[in-house]
Amino acid sequence: MVVDGIGASVKRKEDLRFLSGRGNYVDDMNRPGQTFAHFLRSDVPHGKLNKVDISAALKMPGVVAIFTGDDFTGVGGIPCGWQIHSKDGTPMVEPRHPVLAAGKVRHVGDPIAMVVAETKQQAKDAAEAIILDIETLPAVAGLTAALAAGAPLVHDEAAGNICFDWHIGDKAAVEAGFAKAHKIVRLDLVNNRLVPNAMEPRAAIGDYDVSSGEYTLYTTSQNPHVIRLLMGAFVLSIPEHKLRVVAPDVGGGFGSKIFHYAEEAALTWAAGKVKRPIKWTADRTEAFITDAHGRDHISTAELALDAEGHFLALKVNTQANMGAYLSTFAPSVPTYLSATLLAGVYKTPAIYAEVKAVFTNTVPVDAYRGAGRPEATFLLERIVDVAAREMNMDRVEIRKKNFIPKEAFPYQTPIALQYDSGDYMATFDGCLKAADYAGFEARRKASAAKGKLRGIGISTYVEACGIAPSAVAGALGARAGLYEVANIRVHPTGSVTVFTGAHSHGQGHETTFAQLVSEQLGVAHDMIDIVHGDTGKVPFGMGTYGSRSLSVGGSAMVKAMDKIIDKGKKIAAHLMEADVHDIEFKDGKFSVVGTDKAKTFGEIALTAYVPHNYPIEELEPGLEETAFYDPKNFTYPGGCHIAEVEIDPDTGTVSMISFTAVDDIGRVINPMIVEGQVQGGIAQGIGQALLEHAIYDESGQLLSGSMMDYTMPRADDIPNISVGMEVTLCTHNPLGSKGVGEVGAIGSPPAVINAVVDALRDYGVRHVDMPATPAKIWALIDAYHPKMAAE
């Protein structure tokens, strides 16, 4: 029996260093002889860069070097990792994204020059002495403005500011469904633009070793191997064996640290020029105008229903803001990560979606926790609620009527995906019960007695994660494989080091992965170390995003450990003079079936490294195995979230009363960590629904550009969050796990908004766009009583 194995709430290994101030984040690191960089950035949204005069700045104290766009003409642009084709078969418009602005600046924050100096302050002071001549050009910030006839162009080659105009699904089948509909419900929705705001700002150190000619980049990344691949192969032409990328402790990512950023390339390249390490740490203001933002979609949805409330067809038209340049995964977000999820948990037979991706003079937009799936879920769960009301049906009943039944798995949706397993009725009923949905009307009355408007909102969801089967992703436009890699090194005395391509930036991999090893090899926790985040140590990997670490990375570990056990059995058979087929491995022991002969895992490991009595003719010494695992399908977590809110009609303030989630994420390895992941995701979803909004004014200036202006969820904005599980196993990976990182952020926003709309049901409110701020709610209430408010 393994006490620390699968299913145990083992306390985290990483906590001791984090709790005692001994974490090792990039900004905590210092390299001998280090210099500091400061980036001078554009403060105009769109402009022609006539001149960058660095002559005075070069004379400032402590300045080592100053680089501008002209210095980078010989290197590649920042690449995009996913290519989408438009309806007419043409590839997306992919303008060059220079490392430092060349010729033009295209958003506030676009880097123009990099100053390298002996101290941080000297670099900053010198940047102020650079004289810029920028001719301001008209800019577009919002989707509607960018698509208007005659709008200024962000890139000359992108006519109408359109990056691609894509579609998916069977349009004719959808039209047929609409033709026979009893009712068609239409809804316009905005999915608000967000700033990820991981608490650790991005930071990086570029380093160059003059003796070996090797470059090292220390960076706040979720996927160091991906950065090495993108930056080495596409930007700087440094072969992999001369480029090491290290992502040590990283303080949260939520998607924003997946992407390859210009600063990484600039620092690495410049370190080779000045032959000294160069360190840069973003301040928060810089993070707001350079980290890729999230969401920013405008959609129109139409749902056709028959007289009984069965969904017949769904039609969606979305405009997605790409920002000024294409970030690493940006094109995949509104398309294959969003539109393909529009079936949700429902058996809607016909679905058609169109997506226009649009360039604007704003920070690039890319994946943020959930990436595309929160947008699809928000749209679907809102229109289902609107449909229920307009059909005079109960919100629970209409959902139950349309769920994909558990007997229908594997279920082929009409838009590409095949769900392997799930039981949506179980998570739904479980959540209704846990949230005491039946008792809500009494609570509504109690609130009304205090003059408060109480509402309850339900959301169900399914998401596709465990990214991704490489062949499928490749066919859809991914420019890389999406398998994961594990190397398991058993040391001579039986302790184990696991090298994984997944990266932990809060997920607790050092604990969860050790549980997998403990379970499978029977080794105690303190004899296991998990190594991640260093291309110099880990053979290869694709990193952590899309809730893939356990289902893809963990599966690679299982596969590598299977190989270890196979080899161990051969060694054991030799030592115990038995047939290898008679050797069984259980609880850390190799034994001969039906006898009391056994060898411990440690004895076998020692024999592998001290092969005095060893089948040396057939077997190499040593006990170390590597496995690449490429998933057969995506995984499909699903579930139900219920939010309860109370609105003060005098102020429009929404208070979160409670939040209940029942999710199906497949096999759970560490319930404590899983609950934490769900709670954190839900807090971000509540933030999106009630508080957060990245607002640009018409000219392209970011108005909510600091933590004073952008409302981050604080402890008193978030209620207690009750988390429950109803498990069906993933059918195609060895662990049966589906993934948990994103479910909270996907399921929660529509639950909150459905609750807000429910609370406002007596005020003729049909829909509220996020964030549901007091000003917005107050205006809706006020608009319903125009005379009283005027008095």
Query: Which parts of this chain interact with other proteins (CB under 8 A)?
Result: 11-12, 14-23, 25, 27-28, 121, 197-201, 249-252, 254, 281, 283-285, 505-508, 672-673, 675-677, 679-684, 706-708, 712, 714-716, 718, 720-721, 744
Q: Record the tokens describing residue 2, joined without a space.
A: 């393994």
| Three-class secondary structure of residue 312 per DSSP | strand
State the amino acid at position 361 in one-letter form. N
Measured from the CB of residue 260, what is the shortest distance to ligand FES in angstroms? 23
Contact 68, 130 (CB under 8 A): no
Q: Which of ligand FES, other proteins, none has residue 507 at its interface (CB below 5 to 8 Å by kind)?
A: other proteins
Kindly list the distances between the CA atom of residue 781 and the CA atoms of 91, 451, 652, 753, 789, in Å, as whole numbers in the listed order. 47, 14, 8, 15, 10
> Which of 312, 358, 310 lies closest to 331 in space, CA to CA?
358
Q: Which is nearer to ligand FES, 555 or 684 (CB)?
A: 684
Nearer to ligand FES, 80 or 683 (CB): 683
DSSP 8-class letter at 82: B
Report how far residue 557's alpha carbon sits from residue 32's, in angstroms, rounded to the nearest whole number: 36
CB of 254 to other proteins, least distance (A): 7
Kindly state the smallest distance separating residue 506's Cβ from ligand FES, in Å. Answer: 5
- Give whole-number Cα distances, 95 to 70, 85, 140, 424, in Å: 18, 15, 17, 43
Cβ-based neighbours of 250, under 8 Å, separated by 6 or more: 25, 26, 200, 220, 221, 222, 257, 503, 504, 505, 506, 533
Tell me how far apart the terminal alpha carbons of the chain are, to the nearest angstrom: 74
Question: Taking the CB of residue 83, how many other CB atoms lie within 10 A of it?
Answer: 16
Residue type, 20: S
**Measured from the CB atom, is 243 or 250 closer to ligand FES?**
250
CB of 468 to other proteins, least distance (A): 24
Pick what 14 binds: other proteins, ligand FES, none; C-beta below 5 to 8 Å, kind-dependent: other proteins
Residues lying near ligand FES in the complex (CB under 6 A) are found at 199, 251-252, 506
Query: By C-beta, is 28 or 135 nearer to other proteins?
Result: 28
Q: What is the nearest approach in angstroms of other proteins to the Cβ of residue 197? A: 6
CB of 179 to other proteins, least distance (A): 46
Is 671 within 8 Å of 9 (Cβ atoms)?
yes
Residue 63 is encoded by which pair of tokens?
């300045």
Measured at the alpha carbon of residue 554, what is the angle toward residues 553 and 557, in degrees to the nearest 5? 95
Q: 252 or 588, CB closer to ligand FES?
A: 252
Q: Tell me the C-alpha distance between 791 and 586, whole Å.
A: 80
Q: Could you give the C-alpha distances from 674 to 612, 631, 743, in angstroms and in order?
A: 46, 22, 11
What token pair was written down for 728? 């069906």
Dihedral pair phi/psi, residue 89, rounded to 5°: 90, -5
133 or 709: CB nearest other proteins:
709
Cβ neighbours of 122 (radius 10 Å): 20
Question: Minimum distance between the CB of residue 655 and other proteins, rounded to whole angstroms?
Answer: 12
Question: Closest separation between CB of residue 126 and ligand FES, Å?
Answer: 24
Residue with smallest beta-carbon separation from ligand FES: 199
Q: Which is nearer to other proteins, 623 or 686 (CB)?
A: 686
Nearest-approach distance from CB 277 to other proteins, in angstroms: 15
Q: Which is nearer to other proteins, 18 or 609 (CB)?
A: 18
Which is nearer to other proteins, 250 or 326 (by Cβ)?
250
Which is nearer to ligand FES, 257 or 454 (by Cβ)?
257
Q: Where are the alpha helices (DSSP H) in 158-248?
A: 171-179, 224-229
Interaction partner, residue 331 (other proteins, ligand FES, none; CB < 5-8 Å by kind): none
Bond into 349 cis (ω within 30)? no
> C-beta of 35: minimal distance to other proteins in Å?
14
Between 377 and 507, CB nearer to other proteins: 507
Contact partner, 349, from ligand FES, other proteins, none, Cβ < 5-8 Å per class: none
Peptide bond into 771 cis (omega under 30): yes
How far apart are CB 224 and ligand FES at their closest, in Å?
19
Binder of residue 663, out of ligand FES, other proteins, none (CB less than 5 to 8 A by kind): none
User: Nearest CA to 236 among 206, 281, 275, 274?
Assistant: 206
Nearest to 214 by CA among 235, 236, 234: 236
